[in-house]
Structure 1
Amino acid sequence: MTADEVIQTDASPEASAPRQRGLLLLILLTNSAMLAVYMGVGSVLLPLQVAAIDPANKVAVLGVIGGVSAIFATAFNPIAGALSDRTGRRNPWILGGALASLVGLAFLGSVDTVLLVGIGWCLVQATMNVYQAAVTAIVPDRFPVARRGAASAMVGLALPVGGTAGVMIASQTADRLTTGYLVLGAVAAAAALLLSCFCRDVPRQGPPAPSVPKRERIAAFLSALSHHDFRWAFIGRALLVLGYFSVVGYQLYILDDHIVLPEGLTPPEAIALLTPVAMAAMAVSTVVGGVLSDRWDRRKIFVGVSAALAGFAMAIPVISPTWTGMLVFSALNGLGFGCFMAVDTAVVTLVLPRAEDAARDMGVLNVANAGPQIIAPFVASAIVTAFGGYTPLFVIGGVLSLLGALSVILIRGVR
């Protein structure tokens, strides 16, 4: 029996069409709330807070805070996923992670030194990744293979929905950072509570897993990377995310220091205009890519082309470093990144080695999301500092995205 057959067999058969429709909405809601926190804080509130504390060194300081906090994200996501697998339940981890994040965001909004801001954002990254690990596992837990594209489309659609909401909340509270942090934390907590109330856990049947020595648990934890297709899916995701966040993580500073904005338009207001453009493009490509990949039973072509589009879009602000160029870049990059994340999630669920380790292995894959964010802030700040500008950042981001597109060719078990 293949890994795909195991996963299809284990996906909860009791999830009827009406129940799945309700679950799809809850998946959209919980993932959107999570991304509202990541985008609202990471793109607007945190850069504004850092710039207010240390304007002269804002690029380097944001790079250090972003890199160190991403280490916490990288560690906590797969660990929480493995613990969630072991308990056989998702809701306690989702709700607990969201409530702990609310506390972390409240702390973050109350501090005014670089050190405390760094500690606060590390706490938020750790707790939100506990939430994320359990939420991510719902798709392979509850949906059969034939429905993975639609379910993954909801996960992908959460980026434009949640990203737009998070940036709009953050932009509207740019002069009241504490309020912005609290509102975003409350959104995540409310979404987790709704999921816990309306999507009951389906405990895994059978005897509890036998005790395994620590060394064997660590080896098993990373065993998914020994599987050819999973490894290349991991590499492709890591490259694209690294290219994307090398640029997007510094978008506020790019608009402030690199792009000549129309008179009267501030960087937070500019982000509030750019984000809906990018997110609307993501929404379209996410839905179209997810549906068509299911209908045609083809995944790789969507993933490869969308990654290439995201890479080529990075050249636009290099050729035209203008407000118009940023608008076009946002639209095309959104189209590419949205389709990639939606269909690539479906690809990953089809190359998971073992269904019973779904959350653990999806947690390992999420290292490809969080891990590049460790590197991106350090590399981006070093490039900007060394070359005195942001143009090389776009070039590097584009090259990494194109390499991510090429890596998809090496996946064998998915068409």
Structure 2
Amino acid sequence: MTTLSARPPHPWVLSAFWFGTAFHWLVLLLILMPANVATFVGEGSKGTYLGALVAIGAVMALILPPLVGARSDRTGRRLPYIRLGVAVNLVGLAIMGFAAMTLSGMNGFWVYVLGFLFVQFGNNYATAPYSALIPQLVPPEQRGKYSGVMALLQAAGQLLGAVAAFVVGILKLPVIVPFILIALLLLIPALVTMRGIPEATHPRASAQTLETAGGRTLSIRELFAHQAFLWVFLTRVLFSLGQYSVQPFLQYYNRDVMRQADAGTSTSIMLACIIVGSIISALIGGRISDRLGRKPVIYVAGAAMAAAALLLLVAPSYPVALGLALFFGLGFGAFTSVDWALGSDAMPNASSYARDMGIWHVAFVAPQMTSAPQGALLDWGNARGDNFGYTLVFSIAALFFIAGVLLVRKVPDNAHRGQQAAV
């Protein structure tokens, strides 16, 4: 079995699958789904139905990772789950592409929803055990570096997704083309990662169990009793709430507020600016956090994200909004580079990494459920004129980011050092 004492896989190989999933979710959630949903249901209800669709997928993403992670821990294997999950994900993409290409109206929408459920099931089935690999295989003193590489590859995948969406929009390619691109860019990096990690990777030996675990798997209640894990979990929830208050509706923002004729292309450019900023700060943030600690980086990153969300409301023009998107990306990249390392440091038990990372993953996806009320709030506010809905959802996002910055102060400063002593 691979343990923390063995040489971990190369960081670029270990995180390759994150590149594919980043491309996958950016193009699907931020480009294809807003456009497809508006086509199915019409302009008047687009926010409500898009928010509901994202929330429906979040329910599956909320339940599945801890269950699959726990089973992966019991079997001591990761790769079979990644293989099956990727296969189901690809089936879901095929169903969504079929619905978008050949169907219309509410009948087409419900087939589209079915495909999205397959996508959510498969992706979460694969990423639950995959999420355990950094805390499981990488020593604590290198996790900032590995987390930074992961953030960089995620940002690169997102940038490629934005460029691909821009090219597809400019060339007016058939709607099935981006679905095929998503499938290929998901599958190829997954194969790179699966070939680069051992078949059996779970540290089963009791010597690998951290001292805080007492040589046994902690219950979920005991897991949340650990202060480091609890505060990291709550902090991640707040940052995710801020992200999903705005992210699904960027295309609508560009159309309604920025008055962009081709909202899809304009959103791709805005996303590219966010991602370029993320790439600049991703590796730097991770390496700084290995030396100075995780929390100072998050303080700066969260404040930048909150400021950008508020300033977008008063951006006088699209070029200014692009500059603010770049500024937001600098904060987001730094946060992402540290976030995974902070979560890995907070894991109290090496015998249940996949289950515990699956529970921590809930902090990423549970906030997606707020997309439904946020979408309804967006439509309600906009119905009152002057794009008031965007003022509401962007302001709420800023409040969540600020709350996350304040709450991360509760994370014990010795979480990182404690793991180094315990491993």
Instruction: Flag whether TM exceeds 0.5 (same fold).
Output: yes
- Partner of residue 178 from structure 1, selected from 176, 181, 187: 176
Q: Answer whether contact 1:85 1:356 (CA < 8 A) is retained.
A: yes
Q: Which residue of 2 aligns with 1:309?
A: 304
Q: 1:222 to 1:285 in 2, by over 3 A?
A: farther
TM-superposition CA deviations, 1:356-406 (whole Å, max 9, x none)? 11111111111010000111x113212212211312211110011000111
Are 1:37 and 2:33 an aligned pair? Answer: no
Distance 1:157 1:220 in 2: 34
Q: Which residue of 2 aligns with 1:194?
A: 192
Letter in 1 for 2:181: V
Q: Which residue of 2 aligns with 1:28?
A: 15
Letter in 2 for 1:198: G
Q: TM-score, normalised by structure 2?
A: 0.87
Please state how far the C-alpha of 1:206 moved relative to its aligned partner.
5.1
Please state how far the C-alpha of 1:268 moved relative to its aligned partner.
1.6
Q: Which residue of 1 aligns with 2:404?
A: 404
Are 1:325 and 2:320 an aligned pair? Answer: yes
Q: Answer whether contact 2:239 2:400 (CA < 8 A) is retained.
A: yes
Q: Answer whether contact 2:91 2:118 (CA < 8 A) is retained.
A: no
Distance 1:35 1:279 in 2: 11
Distance 2:367 2:231 in 1: 15
Letter in 2 for 1:190: I
Please state how far the C-alpha of 1:319 moved relative to its aligned partner.
2.1
Q: Answer whether contact 2:15 2:193 (CA < 8 A) is retained.
A: no
Q: Answer whether contact 1:67 1:378 (CA < 8 A) is retained.
A: yes
Q: Which residue of 2 aligns with 1:382?
A: 376
Please state how far the C-alpha of 1:27 moved relative to its aligned partner.
2.8
Judge which range, 317-326 or 165-174, deviates more.
165-174
Q: 1:401 to 1:205 in 2, by over 3 A?
A: closer
Q: 1:300 to 1:387 in 2, by over 3 A?
A: same
Q: Answer whether contact 1:95 1:189 (CA < 8 A) is retained.
A: no
- In the comparison of the two structures, how many residue pairs are matched? 388
Q: After superposition, where does 1:49-64 map in structure 2 within 5 Å?
A: 49-56=36-43, 57-64=45-52
Are 1:368 and 2:390 an aligned pair? Answer: no
Are 1:234 and 2:233 an aligned pair? Answer: yes
Judge which range, 363-372 or 110-119, deviates more.
110-119
Letter in 2 for 1:51: A
Where 1:115 maps in the other structure, the secondary structure is: helix
Judge which range, 365-374 or 72-81, deviates more.
72-81
Q: Which residue of 2 aligns with 1:214?
A: none
Letter in 1 for 2:334: C
Judge which range, 153-162 or 66-75, deviates more.
153-162
Distance 1:401 1:332 in 2: 15
Distance 1:171 1:188 in 2: 19
Please state how far the C-alpha of 1:218 moved relative to its aligned partner.
12
TM-superposition CA deviations, 1:218-261 (whole Å, max 9, x none)? 99245422221111111111111111121111111111112133
Where 1:352 maps in the other structure, the secondary structure is: coil
Q: 1:402 to 1:185 in 2, by over 3 A?
A: same
Q: Which residue of 2 aligns with 1:149?
A: 144
Q: After superposition, where does 1:9-408 map in structure 2 within 5 Å?
A: 11-15=3-7, 20=9, 23-56=10-43, 57-111=45-99, 112=103, 113-174=108-169, 175-204=173-202, 220-221=219-220, 223-261=222-260, 266-296=262-292, 298-375=293-370, 377-388=371-382, 389=387, 390-408=390-408
Please state how far the C-alpha of 1:66 moved relative to its aligned partner.
0.8
Q: 1:27 to 1:68 in 2, by over 3 A?
A: same
Please state how far the C-alpha of 1:85 moved relative to its aligned partner.
1.4
Q: 1:70 to 1:196 in 2, by over 3 A?
A: same
Q: Answer whether contact 1:89 1:203 (CA < 8 A) is retained.
A: yes
The alignment's C-alpha RMSD in Å is: 2.1
Q: Which residue of 1 aligns with 2:421?
A: none
Letter in 1 for 2:240: V
Please state how far the C-alpha of 1:180 moved relative to its aligned partner.
1.1
Q: 1:327 to 1:189 in 2, by over 3 A?
A: same
Judge which range, 312-321 or 145-154, deviates more.
312-321
The sequence identity of aligned pairs, in percent, is 26
Where 2:199 maps in the other structure, the secondary structure is: coil
Distance 1:46 1:64 in 2: 12
Gaps of 5+ in 2: 207-215, 417-423
Distance 2:87 2:74 in 1: 22
Judge which range, 125-134 or 33-42, deviates more.
125-134
TM-superposition CA deviations, 1:271-318 (whole Å, max 9, x none)? 22112211111111111110111133x111111221121111111112
Please state how far the C-alpha of 1:323 moved relative to its aligned partner.
0.5
Distance 2:203 2:380 in 1: 57
Q: Answer whether contact 1:299 1:414 (CA < 8 A) is retained.
A: no
Distance 2:360 2:397 in 1: 21
Distance 1:218 1:349 in 2: 16
Q: Answer whether contact 1:40 1:168 (CA < 8 A) is retained.
A: no
Q: Which residue of 2 aligns with 1:5?
A: none
Q: Answer whether contact 2:14 2:196 (CA < 8 A) is retained.
A: no
Q: 1:61 to 1:344 in 2, by over 3 A?
A: same
Q: TM-score, normalised by structure 1?
A: 0.88
Letter in 2 for 1:349: S
Q: Answer whether contact 1:133 1:363 (CA < 8 A) is retained.
A: yes
Q: Answer whether contact 2:73 2:353 (CA < 8 A) is retained.
A: yes
Q: Answer whether contact 1:41 1:170 (CA < 8 A) is retained.
A: no
Q: Answer whether contact 1:171 1:272 (CA < 8 A) is retained.
A: yes
TM-superposition CA deviations, 1:84-106 (whole Å, max 9, x none)? 21221111111221121111101
